[in-house]
Amino acid sequence: MPSPKTFGNNIPPSNRSSFDPSNPPLAEDSEGSSTWNKLFYGNLRGMEPEPARQPAHAVSIDELRHPLSRKGADMLRRADNFSAMGLHDRAIAQLQKALQERSAIPYAHSMLGIEYLLTKQVLAAIPELEQGVAAMPHNVPNHSNLAYALMLTGNLDRSEQEARRALELDPRNEKTKHVLGQILDARKRQGLTEP
């Protein structure tokens, strides 16, 4: 089973020399974490976006399309800190402010979707994750997070579609394979699989 809070951050870590958005680092495991937290990406610690003027890592196509200003990076970093402290309401408020900073918008939508998942606000997470996918269509965690959220709402067809899209982008992504496995299990339980 993946470590807690595993799906969803598409923001490159500032302390790494290279970044592969399709294979984000695993979060630290914590004792007594709930099953809920173990099912999706969500650890934002150490994954602050790199300001556009200082690329210290391999840059993805999506990052080139959405360069991040220093102000945007600072706003997202503050939200990340709130999330790391378990202050999800303050993280959500900070991310909503970050949506006003043009360069932070695609990252803020993805992170806001994660925060909503962490606080079990699945219906609020879906539109944010959809906007993250629309802004950064090559980002595997965005597709995986959306697939997971859609699965939680029972929208298995669309959930499977998003998971398969994520696997098209990165066929070796174990976290996405896990989500797809959960979707297929849910389909079996509902008798929706083809013989």
pLDDT recorded at residue 191? 79
pLDDT recorded at residue 120? 95
Instruction: Decide if pLDDT at 34 tops 80.
Output: no
What is the C-alpha to C-alpha distance for residues 43 and 45, in angstroms, rounded to an integer? 6
Beta bridge partners of 6: 41, 42
DSSP strand E in the chain: where? Answer: none
Q: Does residue 67 come out as left (phi exceeding 0), alpha (psi in the -120 to 50 range) or beta?
A: beta
Structure tokens, 24: 């984000």
In the chain the domains, ranked by start, together with CATH numbers, are 35-139 (1.25.40)
pTM: 0.68
pLDDT recorded at residue 56? 53
DSSP helix/strand/coil, 41:
strand
pLDDT digits 0-9 by tens, 80-113: 999 999 999 999 999 999 999 988 889 999 999 9
**1: number of Cβ within 10 Å:** 9
